[in-house]
A and B are shown apart, each in its own frame.
Chain A
């Protein structure tokens, strides 16, 4: 038996056969990691209330098979408030969907793991949900190596363009001022304040970036930017984004 221990956050749970479940975690060490929990659907002791979306678990698995078997799990945090609030659940779902799309097996990143756990914890405390989502996206795309350049207009090299408005162009991962270019179907309009805030958020350590004060308008612009940028990079629409739109009324 080759039993190994790890900690991870549940990103996806799929029923398998009569009584098993396939669980996909994000772990600091293993990255995206899937394993089978035998008898989990009927479990009344070992796995009950543990193999649920967004839960943080310490677990032991048997790596002898190509699809590892989950041996035991110890609940660390189930972020229960996410279950009682649909807008928060939609945001947490979007983050998990992005994690599933972007991360790979055997490619763990402890910084992404910490950011994910911290963001879920902040959402669970019902703190400024869309700002938390935005800060996670800024950090996440930077860690993935797709950090957009908000430092200056990619054509004239200036940031203080007289008109004060910019367009983000996903093809170039950069911004362009209104003097140098026109809006296209893919580009996103940004105010100078939004551009500066996003630039600052990229430079600050993730935990400190929460100090930045975004206006609701800046958050709206920035989220639209990251939605279009992500769709461009993945060449597909992330389905959870559609449900974030329905939670507009929620606190920024």
Chain B
């Protein structure tokens, strides 16, 4: 006897394919959708249906956008000679939230990971090189994570961009609010290497 109706079972199956969602959570979500008014379910289905049609990749920076070029690339108030390279669209959102960066972005859509079959050809490295050579770029800021794949990707990009454009890297060291007693030796060593000159009049970040 079939306990779960076929349509509900199919929805549970579909939801459980989403990252971080198992069978139990998928069942809970499916039952919640079922209990809500039909209009809400239709609205959700409509939004999902529209997603791929409405959103595309910006041909310049490869961010998800409704327009091409995206809002950031078409904003003339931003510094188009400064490119921040990030791994994923989520990283762009995190940097935008800070309000501290006024340049434009380039999204790699991944990091180098040979074990997963991801090499330089699988991410947007060649597009970055073409962009740097085509446009008058003054600086490339590499904003990949400080995980092993993120660091390797940064090293690879630095090697490829050397001699073409000045390259900078996001600072790496002690996070704000952390007691240095709890920092591991490598993080502490990196923060000592990347120390900045401190002083009342020193607004520029100069290496000592």
Binding site for B on A (CB under 8 A): 12, 15-18, 44-45, 48-50, 52-54, 75, 78, 80, 82-86, 89-90, 93-94, 96-97, 100, 239-240, 242-243, 246
Nearest-neighbor residue (CB-CB) of A79 within chain B: B148
Q: Is B184 engaged at the interface, CB distance under 8 Å to the other chain?
A: yes
The residues in B between 128 and 185 inclusive whose CB is less than 8 angstroms from any CB of A are 146-149, 151-152, 155-156, 159, 175, 177-179, 182-185
Q: What are the residues of chain B within 8 A of A44 when measuring CB–CB?
A: 175, 177-178
Going nearest first, the 10 A-B pairs with the smallest beta carbon separation are A83-B151, A243-B114, A239-B117, A240-B114, A93-B114, A53-B148, A45-B182, A89-B152, A86-B156, A17-B20
- Chain A residue contacts of B149, Cβ below 8 A: 53
Residues 184-198 of B contacting A (Cβ, < 8 Å): 184-187
Classify chain B: how many residues form its interface, as a range: 20 to 34
Chain A residues lying within 8 Å of B115, measured Cβ to Cβ, are: 12, 93-94, 96-97, 100, 239-240
Instruction: Report the bound CA distance from A17 to B109 in whole Å.
Output: 20
- Interface of B toward A, CB cutoff 8 Å: 19-20, 112-117, 119-120, 146-149, 151-152, 155-156, 159, 175, 177-179, 182-187
In this complex, what residue of A is CB-closest to B21? A17
Complex-state Cα separation, A82 to B155, whole angstroms: 10
Q: How far is the CA of A52 from the CA of B155 in the complex (A)?
A: 17
| Residues of chain A with a CB closer than 8 A to B186's CB | 49, 75, 78, 80
Q: What are 11 A-B residue pairs whose CB atoms fall within 8 Å in the complex? A: A16-B20, A48-B175, A49-B184, A52-B147, A54-B148, A80-B186, A85-B155, A86-B152, A86-B156, A93-B115, A242-B117
Q: How far is the CA of A45 from the CA of B183 in the complex (A)?
A: 7
> Which of A18, A48, A93 has a CB less than 8 Å from the CB of B184?
A48
